[in-house]
Amino acid sequence: MTVVSASEVSRNFSAMVDRAGKGERIEIIRNGRLVAALVPIADTGNGKAVKDRLKPLTYPGDEDWYEDIAATRALLTEGGDPWDE
């Protein structure tokens, strides 16, 4: 993790985004206070991370909720590009 000032991020935005894209978390401070962060985003283009996150969820007492979760999981693909279908 790196901590930088907002003015430094402004001067070097492209480089900061490149660093975050390579897995580095960059926290941004202004007037000595943390105000934002650039964080890497996992490659979730195929929906696997969302599907994995939905798998353990339970919500007792609402039968429609279970059906909604199952329908959402069915829409997600394990691999490949869903737009190629």
Render pLDDT for 41-58 as a digit per residue (tens, 0 to 9): 865 556 777 777 767 766
pTM of the model as a whole: 0.50
Average pLDDT, the chain: 79
Evaluate the CA torsion angle 7, 9, 12, 13 in order and state its sign. Answer: negative
Domain boundaries, the chain: 2-38, 48-79
- Measure the N-to-C terminal CA separation of the chain; round to a whole number of Å: 40
- pLDDT grade, residue 72 (50/70/90)? confident
The 10s digit of each residue's pLDDT in 3-39 is 999 999 999 999 999 999 888 999 999 999 999 999 9
| The two structure tokens encoding residue 43 | 């490659």
Q: Residue 47: exposed, middle, or buried by beta-carbon count in 10 A (0-12, 13-18, 19+)?
A: middle
Q: In this structure, which topology does domain 2-38 adopt according to CATH?
A: YefM-like fold (3.40.1620)
In whole angstroms, give the CA distance from residue 26 to residue 37: 6
